[in-house]
Amino acid sequence: MPRSMLSARRALMLLAGLAVTANAQAPRKITPMLIKNGTVITVTKGTLANTDVLLENGKITKIGANLTAPPGAEVYDATGKYVMPGIIDPHSHSMSDATNEGSLSVTSMVRIMDVLNPTAVNGYRSLAGGVTMINILHGSANTIGGQSATLKLKVGRTIGEMLPAGAPPGIKFALGENVTRKSSTQIPGGPPRRYPATRMGQEEIIRDAFTRARSYKAEWDAYRAKAAMKPVKAALVAPRRDLELEPLVEILEGKRFVHAHSYRSDEIVMLLELAKEFGFTVRTLQHALDAYKVAPEIKASGASVSAFADSWSYKIEAYDAIPYNVAINVRNGVRSTINSDSDERIRRLNIDAAKLIKYGGLTETEAFETITINGAWQLGMEQRTGSIEVGKDADIGIWNAHPFSVYARVDRTIVDGETFFDRAKDEAERAARAAERAELEKAEPNTAPSPRGGGGPPGARPTPPTGGAR
């Protein structure tokens, strides 16, 4: 099949996946599962030895010893294994075919869900690390970026099936050097540098945007009040819709969460004060590597922190970062999480959480909270997931050893009661997949072009360089 036809076919498949909404899905019949004799790390209710967990219709229905499997249920022997809630990553860019709409300072009208790729391999790799839910954020090129998407990793399904119904919407803000781009080179004769170029410009951008949003909200409130009057005046005309301001009005109304990329303590406090001025709360301060300096202020504001475990000094803004950041925030009562911001680190969030026991002395439960229930709260999903409790979604990882061991690996990852990663099945299918890949590589669309554009036989591969600068 020609390459152009493959691209068109893939595009149609993605569009079809995006067109299906979560509400339009017919209910799937889910086989019950009884997980037997595991060490169950509930996170919120302690750790239970030799305990069973029954999953039915996508929910956790029973937790206890010697439970009986219902007819037709799969029985999984978890003897010697650890059963924990699915890991939640509050900051990811995985499975998105675009990250930044960097042309404007405010791009609140764009949606990351419109560019999600359900076939991205990173989703499956994340499942292999025990991750069941991620917060896919717009990039940090804009002071106010695009709308985020909460996704359950039901890899192999449409995007519509991955979007959990009722998940509160979010949006990405960003502060600091990623927005100002002060270190970037200005091209001679090129377009002028985009505003803002300073932190004071960033504050003005946010204040201006919410001033406009507040006026826009007042217009619509007045219109709706008049429309509710009886009789309705025939000449009543609705205000013009503004897709940029509508998400900001949702923030003012407490209906959309703000996830703000930030580093320095001064910019963190600036955003918290500005949010207080306009009457909303920042849900999460993302990265927030200087948060330990202003932890009491963050606690007082009602915001939370989602940080790296131990990444620092990779740019000027990160020079004051310390590995004790999360622990200091936890000790100050700030709800805190570990995030990946990476398709690689997302597979090792269990180890990043384990580091917090060393750096700052968090308890085992506190460390588990940073990759489970706290992340669920940051996404407004704490009543549904993030811990092993009766009535919650059956989002579970089964590990062959304690999840904080560097030798531990995931044997099963279950999302809404269905298995989406099974290590034994994966290993059994590897030979067949390798053979299929080898066959596909022989097809014309997958062969490399001839060296220097011509002259070689079909499928000839370029000669590797023998030396020189790279």
Beta bridge partners of residue 415, listed in sequence order: 418
**pLDDT tens profile 47-92:** 999 999 999 999 999 999 999 999 999 999 999 999 999 999 999 9
pTM of the model: 0.88
| φ/ψ of residue 62, rounded to 5 | -150, 145
- Res. 463: pLDDT tops 90: no
Average pLDDT over residues 337-354: 97
Tell which CATH architecture fits domain 31-86+387-448: Roll (2.30)
> What one-letter code names the amino acid at 447?
T
- Res. 365: pLDDT tops 80: yes
- 25 touches 161 (CB < 8 A): yes
First vs last C-alpha separation in the chain:
34
Instruction: Supply the pLDDT for residue 469.
Output: 41
Q: At 216, which helix (H) or strand (E)?
A: helix 199-227
Buried b / exposed e across 100-119, counting CB within 10 Å, b at 16+?
bbbebbbbbebbbbebbbbe
Long-range contacts of 399-403 (CB under 8 A, 24+ apart): 399/81, 399/82, 399/83, 399/84, 399/130, 400/80, 400/81, 400/82, 401/81, 401/82, 402/82, 403/41, 403/82, 403/84, 403/130, 403/350, 403/354, 403/368
Longest dimension (CA), the chain: 83
- Res. 310: pLDDT tops 60: yes
- Dump the DSSP string for 329-370: HHHTT--EEE--SSTTGGGGHHHHHHHHHHSS---HHHHHHT
Structure tokens at 193: 């540098």
- Res. 18: pLDDT tops 60: no
* Separation between Cα atoms, residue 354 and residue 84, nearest integer Å: 14
Question: Beta-carbon neighbour count of residue 221 at 10 Å?
Answer: 11
- Res. 346: pLDDT tops 90: yes
Helix, strand or coil, per DSSP, at residue 38? strand
Instruction: Supply the pLDDT for residue 182.
Output: 72
Instruction: Supply the pLDDT for residue 155.
Output: 96
**pLDDT tens profile 369-398:** 999 999 999 999 999 999 999 999 999 999
Tell which CATH architecture fits domain 131-183+193-385: Alpha-Beta Barrel (3.20)
In which residue are the tokens 């502060």 written? Answer: 175
Banded model confidence at residue 26, pLDDT cuts 50, 70, 90: low
**pLDDT tens profile 236-290:** 899 999 999 999 999 999 999 999 999 999 999 999 999 999 999 999 999 999 9
- How large is the C-alpha radius of gyration of the chain? 25
- 361 touches 327 (CB < 8 A): yes
> What one-letter code names the amino acid at 248?
L
Length of the chain: 470
- 117 touches 95 (CB < 8 A): yes
- 385 touches 85 (CB < 8 A): yes
Instruction: Supply the pLDDT for residue 31.
Output: 97
* Sheet strands side by side (includes 87-92): 87-92, 131-136, 149-152
- Res. 7: pLDDT tops 70: no
| Continuous H helices in 20-150 | 121-127
Domain ranges of the chain: 31-86+387-448, 131-183+193-385
**456 or 208, greater pLDDT:** 208
